[in-house]
Amino acid sequence: MNIDSIQNGVVLDHIQAGKSMDIYRYLHLDKLDCSVAIIKNARSAHLEKKDIIKIDSPLELDLDVLGYIDPNITVNIIKDGKLVEKKHLELPKRLTNVIHCKNPRCITVSEPQLDAIFLLSSGERRCYRCAYCETEYSG
């Protein structure tokens, strides 16, 4: 398989195999007017398999969303065909409007204009709690 290199854009590497479509949806990559390549189940020295996303355009990414989906992702910024920056992610301490509370009595359900804010309560379990009602959310 031959996927061209990109000159200016972003490469998301070390994505857990099978998670690339979640990232595609969360980041609304379908709305971009540029080439987006999704490579699924690529061989990896560190992981058995991984996904890769190549975006052939510079853009600002929501690193909290990426860190929430998979904190092991590496974000590579490419300019003039060269790697100029590499970012390593971690689970975000706070998520805003990424996930929504499942508690039907939470104020965010009756007041949908409020931001859905979740705070990391356990990094080991990847568990968040609603900032308003303390309902646990494990993703």
Domain boundaries, the chain: 9-88, 94-138
pTM of this structure = 0.82
Residue 39 confidence class, pLDDT cut points 50, 70, 90: very high
Q: Is the pLDDT confidence value at 139 over 80?
A: no
Q: Is the pLDDT confidence value at 1 over 60?
A: no
Give me the architecture of the 9-88 domain, per CATH: 2-Layer Sandwich (3.30)
Q: What is the CATH number of domain 94-138?
A: 2.30.30.20
Residue with tokens 């508690």: 103
Which secondary-structure segment (H or E) carries 53? strand 49-55
pLDDT at residue 138, as a whole number: 83
Q: What is the pLDDT of residues 82-98, one digit of tens each?
A: 999 999 999 999 999 99
**pLDDT > 70 fraction of the chain, expressed in percent and rounded:** 96
CA angle 65–69–73, rounded 5-degree value: 90
